[in-house]
């Protein structure tokens, strides 16, 4: 069976509504049988894909995020964000973005930020006079910061698959994450300056009170990054520390959750982990097939046929990943592109950390784009709007994120400076 037929069948199954993980598993089994290989290969490759020590960090970070989101963290951080930027043009839209920046240091997941923050901020924005479509678009766009600012589950997966230091990926993603925040805030200012001026004034007393109320929440990403930078613990150990820290402040200090709530919290985290690990396992089988069929070399030959300039190749890489992100779920795409990038990496002259951050940032844009963006579906459901309304409104924010991805790809120092300075 040719690789063209295989990939065509994959997209056909997606169009027919088959869950993406099952579509990958089905076409992989068909390929194995057609090639005359034993079905045992499927099981071996699935186990090989999931059998990675660094991946232990993923379920622990997910558990820490579920614990924090089950408490009152979202309310506390939204209050702080409102005190910080509520007085800027765009008011609650600016609060939306800064809240996502703060929450991203807790959950590491775009969908968690879109659903958790969206359920609070979208109704508040609509009540304040913002249109439902603008409220949804800003929430979706800001949720993409979640997987970039550490801790980040996508970086854990990418680091495990590509054998790149997860700690360096975490540190290298800080500046790009802040850059995304800045770009989105400027976009909000430009799109809201006529209709939505500031809803409040700067109140230093409220700012101090909000800061004190959320100080323990803000300490979590500092503990994680500080511990990794200081060599106190590895990313996996940092994830375990995050769970203990989150449970301590939510159970004992804020008392936002009760011991009786823990079983349900653990079950929710376990379900998320099971979904992600199954996707990783079946995607590893398909990734092995792509390597066996020489797709990596085909990609290199195709891109080199277009240009041999390093900067042009980086631009093509970003475009390639963004387009794939329109149709393929993000975790699946991360696992699939790793073996392909092994062949492409020498031609784009990118440091492993630079390449990893560029890849994840570019792929995350697909979360907010039609036709399959998961964050898009979440915010549209909360705001109760149609995809057409959302699509027209997301355009300026989508452009801002694409420009940011291109800038990160073309300027290595944005991702390499911090790791080189603190983790030589």
Dump pLDDT digits (tens) for 280-332.
888 888 888 888 888 877 888 888 888 888 999 999 999 999 988 888 878 88
pLDDT above 90 for 413: yes
pLDDT per residue as tens digits for the range 340-364: 887 788 888 898 999 999 999 999 9
Q: Three-class SS string for the chain?
A: CCHHHHHHHHHHHHHCCCCHHHHHHHHHHHHHHHCCCCCHHHHHHHHHHHCCHHHHHHHHHHHHHHHHHHCCHHHHHHHHHHHHHCCCCCHHHHHHHHHHHHHHHHHCCHHHHHHHHHHHHHHHHHHCCCCHHHHHHHHHHHHCCCCCCCCCHHHHHHHHHHCCCHHHHHHHCHHHHHHHHHHHHHHHHHHHCCCCCCCCCCCHHHHHHHHHHHHHHHHHHHHHHHHHHCCCCCHHHHHHHHHHHHHHHHHHHCCCCCHHHHHHHHHHHHHHHHHHHHHHHHHHHHHHHHHHCCHHHHHHHHHHHHCCCHHHHHHHHHHHHHHHHCCCCHHHHHHHHHHHHHHHHHHHCCCHHHHHHHHHHHHHHHHHCCCCCHHHHHHHHHHCCCHHHHHHHHHHHHHHHHHHHHHHHHCCHHHHHHHHHHCC
pTM attached to this predicted model: 0.89
Higher pLDDT: 260 or 3? It is 260
Is the pLDDT score of 39 beyond 90?
no
Reported as a pLDDT band with limits 50, 70 and 90, residue 197 is low
pLDDT at 195 over 80: no
Q: How confident is the model at residue 198 (pLDDT cuts 50, 70, 90)?
A: low
Q: What is the pLDDT of residue 69?
A: 78
């Amino acid at each position: 069976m040719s690789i063209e037929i295989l990939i065509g069948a994959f997209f056909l199954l997606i169009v027919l509504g088959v869950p993406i993980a099952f579509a990958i598993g089905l076409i992989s089994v068909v390929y194995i049988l057609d090639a005359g290989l034993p079905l045992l290969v499927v099981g071996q490759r699935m186990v090989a894909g999931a059998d990675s020590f660094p991946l232990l960090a993923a379920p622990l970070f997910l558990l820490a995020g579920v614990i924090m989101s089950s408490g009152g963290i979202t309310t506390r951080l939204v209050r702080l964000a409102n005190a910080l930027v509520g007085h800027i043009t765009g008011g609650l839209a600016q609060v939306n973005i800064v809240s996502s920046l703060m929450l991203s240091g807790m959950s590491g997941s775009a969908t968690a930020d879109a659903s958790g923050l969206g359920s609070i901020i979208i109704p508040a924005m609509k009540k304040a006079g913002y249109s439902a479509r603008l409220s949804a678009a800003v929430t979706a766009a800001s949720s993409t910061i979640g997987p970039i600012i550490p801790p980040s589950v996508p970086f854990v997966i990418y680091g495990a698959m590509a054998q790149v230091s997860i700690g360096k990926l975490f540190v290298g993603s800080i500046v790009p994450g802040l850059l995304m925040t800045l770009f989105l805030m400027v976009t909000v200012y430009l799109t809201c300056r006529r209709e939505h001026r500031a809803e409040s004034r700067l109140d230093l007393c409220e700012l101090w009170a909000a800061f004190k109320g959320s100080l323990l929440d803000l300490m979590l990403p500092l503990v994680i990054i500080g511990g990794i930078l200081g060599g106190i613990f590895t990313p996996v150990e940092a994830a375990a520390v995050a769970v203990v820290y989150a449970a301590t402040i939510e159970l004992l200090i804020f008392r936002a959750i009760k011991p009786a709530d823990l079983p349900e919290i653990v079950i929710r985290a376990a379900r998320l982990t099971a979904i992600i690990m199954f996707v990783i396992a079946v995607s590893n089988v398909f990734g092995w097939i792509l390597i066996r069929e020489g797709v990596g070399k085909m990609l290199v030959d195709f891109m080199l046929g277009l240009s041999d300039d390093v900067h042009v190749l980086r631009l093509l890489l970003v475009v390639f990943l963004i387009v794939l992100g329109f149709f393929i779920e993000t975790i699946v795409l991360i696992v699939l592109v790793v073996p392909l990038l092994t062949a492409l990496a020498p031609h784009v002259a990118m440091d492993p950390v630079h390449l990893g951050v560029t890849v994840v940032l570019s792929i995350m844009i697909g979360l907010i784009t039609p036709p399959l963006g998961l964050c898009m579906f979440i915010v549209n459901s909360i705001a109760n709007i149609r995809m057409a309304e959302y699509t027209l409104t997301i355009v300026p924010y989508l452009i801002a994120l694409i420009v940011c991805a291109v800038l990160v790809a073309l300027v290595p120092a944005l991702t390499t400076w911090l790791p080189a300075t603190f983790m030589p």
